[in-house]
Structure 1
Amino acid sequence: MKKIYLFIIAIVLLIPENMVFAQAGGDFFMKAQIRPRFEFNHGAKLPLREDDKPIAFISNRARLTLGYDNGFLSMGLSGQDISLWGQKPQVDDAPNFTLNEAWAKLTQNNWFLQLGRQALSYDDGRILGSPDWHQASRWHDALKMGFDNKEHRLHLVLAYNQMPKSPRQGTFYEFGGQPYKLMQTAHYLYNNNKNFTGSLLFMNLGFQAGTEAEPSINNMQTAGTNLIYNIGNLNLVGSFYYQMGKSAAGLDLSALMGNFKGEYKFTPTFSAALGADYLSGDDKTSEKFNAFNPIYGTNHKYYGTMDYFYASPFGDYGLLDFYGSLVFKPANKFTIDLAAHSFFAQQPVYVNGEEKKGLGTEIDLTVTYPILSYITLQGGYSMMFGTDAFFQIKGGDKNRIQNWMFISLNVNPTILKSKF
């Protein structure tokens, strides 16, 4: 930690005196967001059992965001209230308003330092992303610093988490806040070629272990690359990650994740894609734990919108996901996205003593219509056709229909903009 403090002090000392006191010429904005979403859940995340009943509810995000930028100093402050309609009493004095962003950023000659509560998202968000689908989204309390220009980007992210403590308790981090105690992440992006983009990611997560009397840290490392290549109307994307070190539970790790996607744009209004995702499961014959953990990825975006895999528990079987999608844009940014997933367990599932891997097929339909630039209407419908192995893993009744639908209205205007 001493090195971090010395780095911050050095940055401050290098700031020109006239810039320290200059605040003129800044831009200020205020945005508001109201996002109610109706959902009819007939087996999403957790398949319905024989006597289970479907649920219907409306969740809501109410968010207010403030931003300031004068070229050298930029700041972001965002607060939100997340709830279900009817969840709160009419007279409510509970402290429900939460800051999801509160950061300050200093920028000079492409170098920057950003400190505070902030979203972290790199590459396609499979490892570290900001899941906007979730009403609360996700944030980290961290220091981010690095170099940015049009051709290269190098970021270093450092985090240290703690709960309120007395001097007698030391720095043992009790579960209940962020899932990790320590985090160090390095990310490099190469973007000096109009057809090719490549990046490297290394992340170390330190999980609190032991006791207050004898604390220890379990460190888990994830390293990998993300590659994008464009050939005319064909877009190719692939990534590979390896996980090592120790899990939060202290198990020795050796796990793999890989994915590949090819997308072709036939016309300005029609495109199609095929892809596959591989996440290793735990091989019971191995001395190490082999189930890959996508950590803080945007799982809803990749493994089916019914959130059966990684967005909700399903054991340590791992996953193979072969998928295809068709995207239509018939008029005025109106978008119809139809996707199909064929799921397999990477490790065998035993059903009545018989080894199986096929989990089933999920169909996802999403329709998006921007009413105005700041008002978007979106709806979707999904259905899962699960196998015996799927219901062995997730539970539920294979004779019941498992489906889900949603309708969301996102109102997100900029209500104030000022330059001074």
Structure 2
Amino acid sequence: MLIAFLFIGNVSISYAQEENNEKDKFFVSAQIRTRGEYRNGALYPRNESDLPSGFINERARLSLGYERQRLSLKFSAQHVGVWGQDALVDKNGRFILNEAWAAFEFNDYWFMQLGRQALSYDDERILGGLDWNVAGRYHDALKIGYRKNGHQLHGIFAFNQNDENVIGGTFYDSSKTKLYKNMQTLWYHYDFASTPLQFSIMAMNLGQEGGDAESRKSDTQYMQTFGTYIKYAPGQWNLSGAFYYQFGKNVSSRSVSAFMGSARASYNINKSWSVNVGTDYLSGNDKSDGTYKAFNPLYGTHHKFYGAMDYFYASDFIGGYNPGLSDTQIGVGYKVSSSVSMGMNYHYFATAVKLENLERSLGSEIDYQLDWKIMKDVSLSLGYSVMFGTSTMDIVKGGNHNSWQDWGWISLNINPQIFCK
């Protein structure tokens, strides 16, 4: 398995063609990103009898872009999957558009972007691109924006259906897509010119289909998420915090009252060493009736925050539980040279609410990652993580905490950039 991993690569080639008119530009980029993984308790804890698994996944992506004065277009198609997933002779290949949008600038301040696009905001807790995932995450939406003197304002609007319906109302079956039926989001961001301070506010109204699939009777439930993100980076410090509150109704028509908060601090001791500490708290629910109090981080990039093994919010809780999460973490980074760096982070997990007859502690996770820039456009990355769970982890996530739980990955990235005028 290790020998196979060493052949993993990421190849990305970009080409830019400038027309005779200097205001017209055409871009072409191609990417192959592959990653090998060894899973022995990733996403969910394993039982004692479960054997480890291994695979190599791949993203093959081709992107085209065009810019002319105030007009921009981008089309990006990709094929994603696991090595060996498709037959040697395959007439039904999977090749989809992951980006297809057009942007138009009305003037120096206002713009519009329409189509399939990534929505990535602030530290990606609520809306994130999820680039770690082989497929990424994209939305079909209309974005209207304003930017001037450090101020940014975005309005995002989406309405989803399964097909071009002739009759039958607007019922939306989200069982396969896991998407919302409609969404309206307002985001405001300001960069303070005189200090290294950034401030954002987000307000989202999410419409989820709670109707009946058989009768196609629509019953849209609306949940609101409102919150703020602040970042302050003076000198060798990098400080950030976020708070979000949810209310309204979830897809099960239950009233919602939930919140999450986070705080991060990192400090560069010198050119080689850095340290970081942080805490996250996402409220949980301990009853099956009444107000629903478990916070939903929606479409964020959860891999960045709640442990690299993705036990939380990248996979579901089981047994009807959604106890929330308390995540306390501490880490250290070391830059060996200008081309080699590494980091190690420790997470202590607990439920946000105490479940009956159960300890709140879920366990501890240790994540290690090494990045080595071998030469220009060539880099090697690898990671290894272990989880030490508890009996409470067995109840809310499954598996057996007495079994050894670990996960490893390795990736070789080759990224030549070519620009032709």
Q: TM-score, normalised to structure 1's length?
A: 0.90
Alpha-carbon distance change, 113 to 344 in structure 1, aligned in 2, over 3 angstroms:
same
1:283 deviation in Å? 3.9
Matched residues in 1 for 2:352 and 2:86: separation?
Answer: 43
Structure 1 runs, 4 residues or longer, greater than 4 Å off: none
CA deviations 1:128-173 (Å, max 9, x no partner) are 1011100000000000011124511100000011121442222211
1:71 deviation in Å? 3.4
Matched residues in 1 for 2:151 and 2:247: separation?
Answer: 27
Matched residues in 1 for 2:376 and 2:159: separation?
Answer: 39
Matched residues in 2 for 1:373 and 1:66: separation?
Answer: 25
3-state SS in 2 of match to 1:228 = strand
Matched, 1:258 2:256: no
Q: Which amino acid aligns with 2:249?
A: K
3-state SS in 1 of match to 2:374 = strand
Q: Which amino acid aligns with 2:326?
A: L
Residue of structure 2 in register with 1:4 after alignment: none
Percent identity, please.
Answer: 44
CA deviations 1:184-210 (Å, max 9, x no partner) are 011000102332110000111101122
3-state SS in 1 of match to 2:219 = strand
Matched residues in 1 for 2:228 and 2:190: separation?
Answer: 11
Residue of structure 2 in register with 1:205 after alignment: 206
Alpha-carbon distance change, 166 to 229 in structure 1, aligned in 2, over 3 angstroms:
closer
3-state SS in 2 of match to 1:124 = coil
3-state SS in 2 of match to 1:363 = strand
1:50 deviation in Å? 2.1
Q: Find 1:56's aligned residue among 54, 57, 66.
A: 54
After superposition, residues 7-156 of structure 1 pair within 5 angstroms as: 25-107=23-105, 108-156=107-155
3-state SS in 1 of match to 2:395 = helix
Q: Find 2:293's aligned residue among 290, 295, 304.
A: 290
CA deviations 1:394-419 (Å, max 9, x no partner) are 2212221100000112334445x455
Matched residues in 1 for 2:343 and 2:119: separation?
Answer: 27
Residues 239 and 266, structure 2, Cα contact 8 Å, conserved in 1: yes
Matched residues in 2 for 1:69 and 1:205: separation?
Answer: 33
Matched, 1:342 2:348: yes
Q: Which amino acid aligns with 2:389?
A: G
Gap runs ≥5 in structure 2:
1-19
3-state SS in 1 of match to 2:76 = strand
Residue of structure 1 in register with 2:277 after alignment: 274
Matched residues in 1 for 2:209 and 2:289: separation?
Answer: 25
Of 121-130 and 68-77, the range deviating more from structure 2:
68-77
Residues 286 and 354, structure 2, Cα contact 8 Å, conserved in 1: no
Matched residues in 2 for 1:324 and 1:213: separation?
Answer: 49
After superposition, residues 302-381 of structure 1 pair within 5 angstroms as: 302-314=305-317, 315-350=321-356, 354-381=357-384
3-state SS in 2 of match to 1:393 = helix
Alpha-carbon distance change, 213 to 311 in structure 1, aligned in 2, over 3 angstroms:
closer
Gap runs ≥5 in structure 1:
1-21
Matched, 1:184 2:184: yes
Alpha-carbon distance change, 399 to 213 in structure 1, aligned in 2, over 3 angstroms:
closer
1:328 deviation in Å? 1.4
Q: Find 2:248's aligned residue among 245, 248, 254.
A: 245
CA deviations 1:78-105 (Å, max 9, x no partner) are 1111111111100011140111111111
Alpha-carbon distance change, 284 to 273 in structure 1, aligned in 2, over 3 angstroms:
same
Matched, 1:219 2:222: yes
Matched residues in 2 for 1:313 and 1:290: separation?
Answer: 16
Alpha-carbon distance change, 336 to 140 in structure 1, aligned in 2, over 3 angstroms:
same
Of 291-300 and 140-149, the range deviating more from structure 2:
140-149
1:240 deviation in Å? 0.3
Matched residues in 2 for 1:256 and 1:31: separation?
Answer: 41
Alpha-carbon distance change, 206 to 100 in structure 1, aligned in 2, over 3 angstroms:
same
Residue of structure 2 in register with 1:18 after alignment: none
Q: TM-score, normalised to structure 2's length?
A: 0.89
Residues 114 and 144, structure 1, Cα contact 8 Å, conserved in 2: yes
1:24 deviation in Å? 6.1
Matched residues in 1 for 2:277 and 2:210: separation?
Answer: 42
Residue of structure 2 in register with 1:170 after alignment: 169
Matched residues in 1 for 2:65 and 2:377: separation?
Answer: 17
Matched residues in 2 for 1:71 and 1:381: separation?
Answer: 47
3-state SS in 2 of match to 1:268 = coil
3-state SS in 2 of match to 1:331 = coil
Of 327-336 and 215-224, the range deviating more from structure 2:
327-336
Q: Which amino acid aligns with 1:210?
A: G
Alpha-carbon distance change, 166 to 196 in structure 1, aligned in 2, over 3 angstroms:
closer
Residue of structure 2 in register with 1:13 after alignment: none
Aligned length, in residue pairs: 394
Residue of structure 2 in register with 1:19 after alignment: none
Q: Which amino acid aligns with 1:191?
A: D
Matched residues in 2 for 1:333 and 1:177: separation?
Answer: 41
